[in-house]
Amino acid sequence: MDAGSMSSSSNLKSGSRCPLQEQFLQKRNSRENLDRFIPNRSAMDFDYAHYMLTEGRKGKENPAMVSSPSKDAYRKQLAEAMNMNRTRILAFKNKPPAPVELFPREFSSLPQDKPAKLRRHIPQTSDRTLDAPDLVDDYYLNLLDWGSSNVLAIALASTVYLWDATSGSTSELVTFEDESGPVTSVNWAPDGRHIAIGLDNSEVQLWDSTANRHLRTLRGCHRSRVGSLAWNNHILTTGGMDGCIVNNDVRIRSHIVETYRGHEQEVCGLKWSASGQQLASGGNDNLLHIWDRSVASSNSPTQWLHRLEDHTAAVKALAWCPFQGNLLASGGGGGDRCIKFWNTHTGACLNSVDTGSQVCALLWNKNERELLSSHGFTQNQLTLWKYPSMAKVAELTGHTSRVLYMAQSPDGCTVASAAGDETLRFWNVFGVPEVAKPVPKLIRSLLPI
């Protein structure tokens, strides 16, 4: 052995800084823990082994040399007396040693088994129920919205009410005269302070909810009621019973900047994508259109990007996926009953699921890959689906009439539903989002400041 190896060995024997290495070397030097492929010599009978390799096999290999049965009987008795009825030549005295773990599991870089994720509890009953008298039972209207300031707006006949989810207080924003109302749509601006209100007389009013003040009225967009609204920053998009879709820049006097023509009947669904680049519109003509702002024109009606004709009933329920920008979910009315998924870049239908009843509204879970749908006859239920398998996760019942409208709280956890039974219900269906784990100190110190 060279000097370097000897010095290393002596240091390891005397030192105690690395017990794992020391324990490993002790096992290697112990006579009780030999290499598993070398037999234990003390457990072997070499005389018997020599006999079996030479004389003991002659009778079997050369049966003609056996002289008589008496010699066979004598040889058998002698073997029993001398404990020679064995067939193994090599023998192990001890079991082979267990493999040594060079590195403890807590220091290993190999992926560890993750604990199973607990299944989220979904309450089957509503957390709160509020009366909503005079709520218009009309599939083509949009009378409920939840703003970023955590205030919910609901239109009951000709009055718009505001419910503060933080304090639980209710206030009346405005009541319209009979010649203007009833209210046909409400939609919060992104700032959570300003709200747009569509009316039966084709007008759209803008209100400041904090100051409880009317700001302006948009006229000339439509010839009849305005049943759908959608904000895209400072652009307010309106959809009317006349089949027209109008983009209004609320910052300027001449507010009409673009017009989309493609629907032959009432526009009942409008949703802008998160990027603000694409607009989805659904109508009572069973059509779904995708519009792209990059090809919009103020001089002439804009041509749609995709005209999708797969639904067989009115398309009101629309929802853009929060985790995939070009994925759109759409729901059909009573004659269709389907939820369809679309790639809005290509216009391809990715999947279609028959829900068995009228699809009134759709909402994506912001924290999980789930989709919530509200329905009409026969169960008037809310159904939670796992995406993309579309397996049912839960069915929430309680409404006694079709669930026409749904809105999601700003944190994405709670859903409000309003139905023809004139009740407003709140459901803790999406759960509390997981809190982000803090970055370990060691890793945090390596991050750039």
Q: How many domains does the chain have?
A: 2
Distance from C-alpha of 191 to C-alpha of 151, rounded to nearest angstrom: 12
Considering the domain architecture, whether residues 163 and 286 belong to the same structural domain is answered as yes
Check residue 439 and give its pLDDT: 45
| Residues 245 and 145 occupy one common structural domain | yes
Looking at residue 345, its pLDDT comes to 96
User: Where among 266, 289, 309 does a domain terminate?
Assistant: 309
Contact 347, 366 (CB under 8 A): no
Residue 86 has pLDDT above 60, yes or no: no
Q: Give the model's pLDDT for residue 54.
A: 63
The mean per-residue pLDDT over the stretch 119-127 comes to 90
Please give the single-letter amino acid code of residue 379: Q
If asked whether residues 289 and 398 sit together in one domain, one would say no
Report the mean per-residue pLDDT for the chain.
Answer: 83
Q: Are 349 and 288 in contact (CB under 8 A)?
A: no
User: Among the three residues 309, 324, 341, which one is the final residue of a domain in this structure?
Assistant: 309
* Cα–Cα distance measured from residue 432 to residue 274, given in angstroms and rounded to the nearest whole number: 22
Same domain, 358 and 398: yes
Query: CA nearest 333: which of 346, 361, 318, 314?
Result: 314
Banded pLDDT at 67 (limits 50, 70, 90): low
Question: Quick one: average pLDDT of 69-94?
Answer: 63
- In-domain check, residue 70: no
Q: Which two tokens stand for residue 407?
A: 């809105």
Same domain flag for 265 and 302: yes
Looking at residue 294, its pLDDT comes to: 83
Q: Does residue 184 contact residue 226 with C-beta atoms inside 8 Å? A: yes
Mean pLDDT is lowest, of 21-35, 113-127, 149-163, 267-281, for 21-35
Are 260 and 281 contacting, i.e. CB atoms less than 8 angstroms apart? Answer: yes
Q: How far apart are CA 119 and CA 441, in angstroms?
A: 30
In a shared domain, residues 277 and 164 = yes
236: nearest Cα among 280, 200, 270? 270
Higher-confidence residue of 296 and 377: namely 377
Report residue 57 CA to chain centroid gap.
73
Mean pLDDT for 214-240 is: 97
Last residue of a domain, one of 291, 309, 327: 309
The pLDDT of residue 1: 45
Q: What digits encode the pLDDT tens for the residues 394-420?
A: 999 999 999 999 999 999 999 999 999
CA-to-CA distance for 359 and 343, rounded, in angstroms?
A: 20
Complete edge-to-edge strand list for the sheet that includes strand 370-375: 359-364, 370-375, 382-386, 391-396
Whether the per-residue pLDDT at 352 is higher than 50: the answer is yes
Task: In whole angstroms, give the CA distance from residue 249 to residue 410.
Answer: 25
For helices 19-29 and 3-14, angle between their N-to-C axes, nearest 10 degrees: 110
Looking at residue 108, its pLDDT comes to 52
Look at residue 111 and tell me if it is in a domain.
no
CA–chain centroid gap for 386, Å, is: 7
Burial of 140 from C-beta contacts in 10 A (0-12 / 13-18 / 19+): buried
pLDDT top residue among 261 and 21: 261
The pLDDT assigned to 39 comes to: 56
Specify if 55 maps to a domain: no
- Checking if the pLDDT of 18 tops 60, the result is no
293/367 same-domain check: no
Burial status of residue 271 (CB atoms within 10 A of its CB: 0-12, 13-18, 19 or more): buried
Distance between CA atoms of residues 394 and 411, nearest Å: 21
Sequence-distant (6+) residues with CB within 8 A of 306 are 289, 290, 342, 344, 347
- Give Cα 168 to chain centroid, integer Å: 30
120 band by pLDDT with thresholds 50, 70 and 90: confident
Question: Is the pTM for the entire model greater than 0.75?
Answer: no
pLDDT of residue 77: 72
Residue 275, both tokens: 């990027």
Report pLDDT for 279.
Answer: 98
Q: Considering the domain boundaries, does residue 384 fall inside one?
A: yes
| SS (HEC) of the chain | CCHHHHHHHHHHHHCCCCHHHHHHHHHHHCCCCCCCCCCCHHHCCHHHHHHHHCCCCHHHHCHHHCCCHHHHHHHHHHHHHCCCCCCCCCCCCCCCCCCCCCCCHHHCCCCCCCCCCCCCCCCCCCCEEEECCCCCCCCCCECEEECCCCEEEEEECCEEEEEECCCCCEEEEEECCCCCCCEEEEEECCCCCEEEEEECCCCEEEEECCCCEEEEEECCCCCCCEEEEEEECCEEEEEECCCEEEEEECCCCCCEEEEEECCCCCEEEEEECCCCCEEEEEECCCCEEEEEHHHCCCCCCECCCEEECCCCCCEEEEEECCCCCCEEEEEECCCCCEEEEEECCCCEEEEEEECCCCEEEEEECCCCCEEEEEECCCCCCEEEEECCCCEEEEEECCCCCCEEEEEECCCCCCEEEEECCCEEEEECCCCCCCCCCCCCHHHHHHCCC
N-term to C-term CA, the chain: 53
Do residues 333 and 324 make contact, with C-beta atoms less than 8 angstroms apart?
Answer: no
pLDDT of residue 365: 97
Are 375 and 414 members of one domain?
yes
Q: What is the pLDDT of residues 315-329, one digit of tens each?
A: 999 999 999 999 999
CATH code of the domain in which 360 resides: 2.130.10.10
Domain of residue 182, residue span: 138-309
User: How many Å apart are CA 142 and CA 154, to the nearest integer?
Assistant: 9
Question: Residue 385 — very low, low, confident or very high, per pLDDT cuts 50/70/90?
Answer: very high
353 & 243 share domain = no
- The DSSP bridge pattern shows strands 144-146 and 128-131 to be unpaired
Contact 217, 226 (CB under 8 A): no
User: How confident is the model at residue 89, as a pLDDT?
Assistant: 53
In a domain? residue 16: no
Same domain for 365 and 276: no
